[in-house]
């Protein structure tokens, strides 16, 4: 049961072939069996999940079939940077290791209202800073396709849990690629919606002008279903956009005839692994056979995207993370004779090395003498990147690239060199800087590890992205592969 997608399970639930309690037990059993190897979760909410499953079953028996929301009774994992009332929310950081939020993030409220069953909180890089979960302050997560490889990050726990069938679907957050890159590494579908589409209320902030919540699922249909639940205006998030939201399931049309797809030259050249490039070219051929028009497009500003991101994101992070001072919530150092020492020691003990690095980078970039040279300059380059996209979207309906330059790397391969780790986000970062929607979906394997195809859309045009992705998926079977574990 736990190997199926949400839309397949919905059918079985509504027709009373299975119950949500049975399904939730199957998922919890799977967690018992494989979690020793994968370690996707920070917290498993076993008892609460079974209660929610029971409630879902009564809802299914009471409501007429057509009024049962599609996610009713479906087990879902929530990334551990989204607040869950009464349930530990650590952001995989020692500084929040004992934090139990008094409220739910808006997305969690929406997921609960849709009747889904929350089975646990997924591991991540501390404060979502990283690309491998090696920066988790609690423990790493392992890639279900190859336990020697990382699952990607920062939503590595969410992606691994979906790939290992330890949940049916999951939420992630994406600041510079944190939904798409782990989706690519774990062979699942990951979607970052347009900035402003999904409320960030209750999402523990990393870089507020870039953060966006989205789905990680086994196929594109489930992505559309979860999108329908997550999106919408929220007065509690001032950057949430008050625009009508379409029904994303209606965008699932198996047709790309005459769709103009620009493939990004800079992301198919130097620095991209040969096997990845070969798989992407195969995918391009497939889309061409299906009637799309593929044309090369150049994005000259991309050269500066990683540098720009690593000024803007740490600058915002240094400000956002100032609140962890041992006074309001979270860890407080016991070693303190006065207030200042308490601040110092709390932050020294509570934050991991990467988070400290980002706070220092950000503080430096924002300091009076360097603000113009670094932070302000980065904002200007951000505009150039957006202009490259604007130009491209005058000609093309969607853009295409690999999601990551390589397959999942091995543990420890990049930890000694932060730059090597940062560079691995080259294909995803520009999209966040421009606030655009983009999906990653499976398109091949190398050394038995998955490869991801990225499709990028115009702002608020999630539908065309979903249509292109759905068409590719319906005409291939990469998404049906399951790791042996
Ligand atoms: N890997 C990138 C970083 O370390 C992106 C992380 C994210 O999207 N949250 O910042």
- Find the residues whose C-beta lies inside 6 A of ligand 1: 128-131, 154, 174-178, 206, 313, 425
Residues 6+ apart with CB under 8 A from 70: 6, 7, 10, 114, 225, 228
Q: How many domains does the chain have?
A: 2
Q: Give the domain CATH number at 87.
A: 3.90.1300.10
State which ligand 1 atom lies nearest to the alpha carbon of 178: 8
Q: Tell whether 350 and 228 lie within a shared domain.
A: no
Query: Residue 136's closest CA among 354, 357, 361, 426?
Result: 354
Contact, 24 vs 47, CB < 8 A? no
pLDDT digits 0-9 by tens, 180-197 = 999 999 999 999 999 999
> Six-digit token pair at 484?
């042996």
Q: Is the Cβ–Cβ distance between 27 and 166 less than 8 Å?
A: yes
Q: Is residue 268 part of a domain?
A: no
Q: pLDDT tens digits, residue range 122-163? A: 999 999 999 999 999 999 999 999 999 999 999 999 999 999
Look up 154 and say whether it is catalytic: yes
Report d(CA 30, CA 217) in Å as an integer. Answer: 17
pLDDT band at residue 335 under the 50/70/90 scheme: confident
Q: Is 464 a domain residue?
A: yes
Same domain, 402 and 376: no
Residue 231 domain boundaries: 6-259+397-480
With the most atoms of ligand 1 within 8 angstroms of its CB, the residue from 82, 123, 129 to mutate is: 129
Q: Is residue 94 part of a domain?
A: yes
**Boundary (domain end) residue, out of 350, 380, 410:** 380
Evaluate if pTM is beyond 0.95: yes
Q: What angle do CA 233, 236, 242 make, to 5 degrees?
A: 25
From 92, 124, 126, 128, the mutation candidate for ligand 1 (largest count of ligand atoms within 8 A of CB) is 128
Dist CA 169 CA 367 (whole Å): 42
* Catalytic residue, candidates 19, 132, 154, 440: 154
In a shared domain, residues 92 and 173: yes
Element (H or E) spanning 450, and its range?
strand 449-457
Q: Is residue 287 part of a domain?
A: no
Are residues 411 and 356 part of one domain? no
* H or E element, residue 418: helix 418-423
Q: How far apart are CA 298 and CA 264, in angstroms?
A: 6
Residues 117 and 245 in one domain: yes
Q: Clarify whether residues 372 and 419 are in a common domain.
A: no
Asked if pLDDT for residue 200 goes beyond 90, the answer is yes
Query: If you measure from the C-alpha of residue 131 to the centroid of ligand 1, how many angstroms do you get, rounded to a whole number?
Result: 6
Catalytic annotation present for 20:
no
Q: Per residue in 420-436, pLDDT tens?
A: 899 999 999 999 999 99
Distance CA 157, CA 143 (A): 9
- Give the whole-angstrom CA distance, residue 331 versus residue 350: 7
Q: 427-466 pLDDT, tens per residue?
A: 999 999 999 999 999 999 999 999 999 999 999 999 999 9
What is the rounded distance in angstroms from the CA atom of residue 300 to the CA atom of residue 421?
A: 22
Q: Give yes or no: residues 43 and 187 share one domain.
A: yes
Q: Residue 23: CB partners within 8 Å, gap ≥ 6? A: 1, 2, 9, 13, 53, 73, 74, 75
Which pLDDT value is given to residue 66? 86
| Residue 329 confidence (pLDDT) above 90 | no
Q: How far is CA 73 from CA 141, 179, 230, in A?
A: 26, 24, 17
Measured over the CA atoms of residue 464, residue 70, residue 185 and residue 301, the dihedral's sign is positive
Answer whether residue 65 shows pLDDT above 90: no
Residues 376 and 402 in one domain: no
Tokens of 408: 């999942």
Q: Which helix (H) or strand (E) holds 468?
A: helix 462-474
Distance of alpha carbon 70 from alpha carbon 73, whole angstroms: 9
User: Do 406 and 362 share a structural domain?
Assistant: no
Ligand 1 centre to CA of 45 (Å) is 27
User: CA nearest 131: which of 306, 347, 12, 372?
Assistant: 306
Q: Within a domain: residue 437?
A: yes
The CA-based angle 212-216-222, given to 5 degrees, is: 115
**349 part of a folded domain:** yes
117-122 and 189-192 as β-strands: parallel, antiparallel, unpaired?
unpaired
Report the pLDDT value the prediction gives residue 464, as an integer from 0 to 100. Answer: 98
Measured CA to CA, the distance from residue 431 to residue 456 in angstroms comes to: 8
Which tokens is 160 given? 């691994």
417 located within any domain = yes
In terms of phi and psi (left: phi > 0; alpha: psi -120 to 50; beta: otherwise), the region of 401 is beta
How much is the average pLDDT of 387-399? 98
For residue 129, the ligand 1 atom closest to its alpha carbon is 4
Using a pLDDT cut of 70, give the percent of the chain over it: 100
* Structure letter (DSSP) for residue 398: E
* Same domain, residue pair 374 and 401: no
**Whether the Cβ atoms of residue 76 and residue 170 lie closer than 8 Å to each other:** yes
Q: Do 452 and 328 have their domain in common?
A: no
DSSP-based three-state secondary structure for 24: helix
End position of a domain, from candidates 380, 406, 441: 380
For the CA of 309, the closest atom of ligand 1 is 10
Length of the chain: 485
Instruction: Find the radius of gyration of the CA atoms of the chain.
Output: 21
Same domain, 434 and 321: no
CA atoms within 13 A on the CB side of 121: 22
DSSP conformation letters of 159-174? HHHHHTTSSSEEEEEE
93 is known as an active-site residue:
no
User: Of 380, 407, 423, which residue is a domain's last?
Assistant: 380
248, part of any domain:
yes
Those residues with Cβ within 8 angstroms of residue 328's Cβ, 6 or more apart along the chain or in another chain? none
């Amino acid at each position: 049961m736990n190997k199926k997608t949400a839309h397949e399970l919905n059918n079985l639930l509504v027709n009373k072939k299975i119950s949500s309690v049975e399904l939730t037990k199957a998922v919890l059993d799977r967690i018992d069996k494989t979690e020793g190897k994968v370690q996707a979760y920070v917290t498993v909410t076993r008892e609460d999940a079974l209660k929610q499953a029971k409630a879902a079953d009564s809802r299914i028996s009471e409501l007429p079939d057509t009024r049962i929301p599609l996610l009713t009774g479906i087990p879902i994992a929530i990334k551990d940077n989204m607040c869950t009332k009464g349930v530990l929310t650590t952001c995989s950081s020692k500084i929040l290791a004992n934090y139990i939020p008094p409220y739910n993030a808006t997305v969690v409220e929406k997921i609960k209202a849709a009747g889904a069953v929350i089975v646990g909180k997924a591991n991540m890089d501390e404060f979502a800073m990283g690309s491998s979960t090696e920066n988790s302050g609690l423990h790493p997560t392992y890639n279900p396709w190859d336990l020697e490889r990382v699952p990607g990050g920062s939503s590595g726990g969410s992606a691994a849990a979906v790939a290992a069938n330890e949940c049916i679907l999951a939420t992630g957050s994406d600041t510079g690629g944190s939904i798409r890159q782990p989706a690519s590494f774990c062979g699942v579908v990951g979607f970052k919606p347009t900035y402003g589409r999904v409320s960030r209320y209750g999402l523990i902030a990393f870089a507020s002008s870039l953060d966006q919540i989205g789905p990680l699922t086994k196929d594109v249909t489930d992505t559309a279903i979860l999108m329908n639940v997550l999106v919408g205006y929220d007065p509690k998030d001032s950057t949430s956009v008050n625009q009508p939201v379409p029904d994303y399931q209606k965008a699932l049309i198996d047709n790309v005839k005459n769709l103009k797809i620009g493939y990004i030259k800079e992301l198919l050249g130097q620095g991209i692994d040969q096997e990845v490039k070969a798989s992407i070219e195969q995918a391009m051929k497939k889309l061409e056979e299906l009637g799309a028009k593929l044309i090369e497009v150049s994005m000259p500003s991309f050269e500066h995207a990683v540098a720009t991101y690593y000024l803007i994101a740490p600058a915002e992070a240094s400000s956002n993370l100032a609140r962890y001072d041992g006074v309001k919530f979270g860890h407080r150092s016991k070693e303190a004779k006065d207030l200042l020492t308490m601040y110092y020691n709390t932050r020294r003990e509570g934050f991991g090395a990467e988070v400290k690095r980002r706070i220092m980078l950000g503080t430096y970039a924002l300091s009076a003498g360097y603000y113009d040279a670094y932070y302000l300059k980065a904002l200007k380059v951000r505009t150039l990147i957006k202009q490259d996209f604007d130009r491209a979207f005058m000609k093309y309906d969607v853009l295409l690239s690999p999601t990551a330059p390589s397959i999942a790397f091995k543990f420890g391969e990049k930890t000694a060199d932060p730059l090597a780790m940062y560079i691995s986000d080259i294909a995803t970062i520009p999209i966040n800087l421009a606030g655009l929607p983009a999906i990653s979906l499976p398109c091949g394997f190398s050394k038995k590890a998955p490869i991801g195809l990225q499709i990028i859309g115009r702002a608020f045009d999630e539908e065309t992205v979903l249509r292109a992705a759905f068409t590719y998926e319906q005409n291939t079977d990469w998404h049906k592969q399951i790791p042996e574990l």
